[in-house]
């Protein structure tokens, strides 16, 4: 009963911190938007004064006299009197900006560089931090980008636009939605990118771009434009709600493993481009109509509006529930399995010899190989050697670690930055704090679990060991360059407490002098120490 109570308290605490973190991001977004809006009148006044000064300048007048057509064209482009002036110019520039981002994202994908590496690593990292509560939450949220939910919301918006006589928005709304769906379908066929291996649910379509992200971006941006344009409620509230909804749906696609991060970002760009196109067409269709806000002519409109919203909310709940129930679960493959000895797999390139950063930069090579019966044996051996099991990354632990590192305070089980081997983050992190030292100086080790296909009762753990000797600008750690000395320290600690034996050394890489992703140099002789549980038979292998 006590353990259940503690686990419930821990779960409640996790949700509380998660909600606090999300609300903090939203409050920061609201603050930035409100500040920009308050400063807009000041900026407009300053720009207007500058424009008047430039206009009255004699040299400018002479230049204007020589090129009257050019300056007449430019003057019309910045005029605020008509839509074809400043509003159309702003929409055009925004369209070109997002189109440029889209082209850049496609080129980065085709280049198969750091973006593809980061995609794979982020997907693997997300799988390690999944929880039942967040999975249920994001399974419901992701349904908001489903085509049935989009059609339902689109129909409700159409009815409301008809009731309130804003009918010029209706054809552009459906035009953008249909064009978005068609373009996403075609782009998926063109790029034919497979979905991540860690997907929680089985989906048959290709990954690039994310259809859910594109749909929610198109629908949310266009409807937010309508609400702000018609002065319905507070525009800051609608803008903030739009950003929040689009962000959460995209996050759900990455969290559930249905898409890579670049799929989601590209989907955002596709959806935003179609939303801008729809806004432009809506303004052109609505030029002959005048609207200064909602003109209420009777209570019937309000009752009809309330009824449409209520019915849509109920039906949307059924759609999301049905969507979440029809998803087919997938069991992702999390661990490498080898049919050859581990040191042979490392030497012959079957398994990477060096770890990688989030963006694929090579890090320290494997320097320790452990043959243990199971995870519990590893945890017990490290604890007996004086090395603490690091806390898993989370809102609470990462916040506490950031504060401890900034103030140089001790945190003996602080989470360790994720580093990847074979596309997978470390399964275990351990650290050994220095007496009377803060978090900036600590010994730490990472281990990856490798299962052998051959009949064996032992599990192989390959690892790297480092020593943080300080921090740079209070943001990143600085490691000691002699990583072999750190490995030997851990080996000595494990051997000193008994139960572990050393079986030799294996040549993994040539002597190496390199630097990590933060620019810290390190060097190694390229050999890995092999340890096993006492009296264990680990099979033949080449050692030195």
Query: Same structural domain for residues 322 and 347?
Result: no
pLDDT at 219: 92
pTM, two decimal places:
0.69
Percent of the chain with pLDDT over 90: 5
Q: Write down the pLDDT at residue 344.
A: 73
Any domain includes 75: no
The verdict on 309 and 350 lying in the same domain is no
Q: Is 381 found in the same domain as 258?
A: no
CA atoms within 13 A on the CB side of 229: 19
Assigned domain for 544 exists = no
pLDDT score recorded for residue 396: 72
Tell me whether residue 265 is in a domain: yes
Name the residue with tokens 């609201």: 30
Decide if 417 contacts 448 (C-beta within 8 A): no
Do 323 and 347 lie in a common domain? no
> In a 10 Å sphere around its CB, with 0-12 CB exposed, 13-18 middle and 19+ buried, how is residue 522 labelled?
buried
pLDDT at 151 over 80: yes
Same domain, 25 and 109: no
Residue at 114 is within a domain: yes
With left for phi above 0 and alpha for psi between -120 and 50, is residue 326 left, alpha or beta?
alpha
Question: What's the domain count of the chain?
Answer: 3
Is 543 inside any structural domain? no
Confirm whether 78 is domain-assigned: no
Is residue 263 domain-shared with residue 163, that is, in the same domain? yes
Co-location of 302 and 357 in the same domain: no
Q: Is there a single domain that holds both residue 498 and residue 379? A: yes
- State which of 299, 314, 329 marks the end of a domain: 329
User: What is the domain range of residue 44?
Assistant: 1-66
The conformation of residue 482, written as its DSSP 8-state character, comes to B
**Which class for 512: exposed (0-12), middle (13-18), buried (19 or more C-beta within 10 A)?**
middle
Q: Dmax over Cα atoms in the chain, in whole Å?
A: 96
- Percent of the chain at pLDDT > 70 equals 73
The per-residue pLDDT for 70 is 58
- Same domain for 146 and 239? yes
In a shared domain, residues 355 and 384: yes
Same domain, 349 and 322: no
pLDDT, tens digit, 9 for 90 and up, residues 371-419 = 888 888 888 888 888 888 888 776 677 777 777 777 777 777 888 888 8
Residue 540 lies in a domain: no
Residue 501 lies in a domain: yes
Picking from 296, 329, 362, the residue at the C-terminal end of a domain is 329
Q: What is the mean pLDDT of residues 518-526?
A: 80
Q: Which residue is associated with the tokens 């929680």? A: 200
Does 349 lie in the same domain as 309? no
Last residue of a domain, one of 279, 312, 329: 329
**Residue-averaged pLDDT of the chain:** 76
DSSP state, residue 509: S
């Amino acid at each position: 009963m006590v353990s259940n109570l503690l686990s419930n308290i821990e779960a409640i605490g996790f949700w509380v911190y998660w909600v606090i973190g999300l609300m903090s991001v939203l409050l920061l977004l609201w603050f930035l938007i409100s500040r920009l809006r308050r400063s807009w009148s000041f900026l407009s006044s300053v720009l207007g004064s500058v424009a008047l000064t430039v206009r009255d300048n004699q040299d400018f007048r002479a230049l204007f006299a020589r090129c009257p057509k050019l300056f007449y064209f430019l003057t019309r482009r910045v005029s605020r009197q008509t839509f074809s002036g400043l509003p159309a110019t702003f929409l055009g520039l925004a369209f070109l900006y997002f189109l440029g981002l889209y082209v850049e994202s496609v080129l980065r994908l085709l280049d198969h560089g750091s973006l593809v590496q980061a995609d794979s690593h982020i997907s693997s990292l997300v799988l390690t931090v999944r929880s039942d509560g967040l999975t249920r939450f994001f399974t419901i949220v992701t349904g908001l980008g489903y085509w049935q939910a989009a059609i339902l919301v689109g129909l409700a918006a159409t009815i409301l636009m008809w009731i309130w006589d804003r009918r010029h928005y209706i054809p552009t709304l459906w035009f953008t939605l249909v064009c978005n769906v068609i373009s996403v379908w075609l782009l998926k066929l063109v790029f034919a990118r497979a979905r991540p291996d860690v997907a929680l649910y089985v989906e048959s379509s290709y990954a690039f771009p994310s259809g859910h992200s594109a749909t929610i971006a198109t629908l949310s941006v266009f409807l937010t434009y309508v609400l702000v344009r018609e002065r319905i409620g507070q525009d800051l509230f609608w803008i903030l709600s739009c950003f929040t909804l689009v962000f959460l749906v995209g996050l759900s696609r990455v969290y559930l493993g249905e898409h890579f991060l670049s799929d989601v970002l590209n989907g955002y760009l596709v959806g935003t481009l179609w939303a801008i196109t729809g806004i432009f067409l809506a303004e052109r269709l609505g030029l002959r109509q005048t609207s200064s806000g909602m003109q209420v002519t009777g209570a019937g409109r309000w009752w009809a509006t309330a009824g449409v919203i209520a019915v849509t909310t109920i039906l949307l709940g059924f759609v999301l529930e049905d969507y979440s129930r029809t998803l087919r679960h997938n069991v992702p493959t999390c661990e490498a399995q080898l049919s050859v000895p581990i040191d042979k797999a490392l030497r012959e390139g079957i398994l990477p010899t060096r770890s990688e950063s989030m963006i694929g930069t090579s890090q320290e090579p494997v320097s320790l190989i452990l043959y243990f019966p199971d995870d519990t044996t590893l945890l017990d051996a490290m604890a007996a050697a004086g090395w603490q099991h690091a806390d898993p990354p989370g809102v609470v632990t990462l916040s506490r670690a950031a504060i401890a590192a900034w103030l140089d305070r001790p945190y003996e089980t602080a989470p360790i930055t994720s580093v990847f081997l074979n596309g997978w983050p470390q399964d275990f992190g351990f650290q050994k704090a220095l007496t009377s030292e803060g978090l900036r100086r600590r010994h730490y080790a990472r281990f990856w679990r490798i299962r052998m296909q051959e009949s064996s009762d032992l599990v192989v753990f390959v690892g790297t060991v480092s020593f943080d000797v300080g921090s740079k600008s209070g943001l990143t750690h600085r490691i000691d360059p002699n990583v072999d000395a750190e490995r030997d320290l851990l080996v000595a600690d494990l051997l000193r407490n008994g139960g572990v034996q050393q079986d030799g050394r294996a040549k993994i890489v040539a002597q190496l002098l390199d630097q990590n992703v933060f620019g810290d140099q390190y060097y190694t002789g390229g050999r890995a120490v092999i340890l096993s549980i006492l009296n264990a038979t680990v099979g033949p292998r080449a050692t030195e």
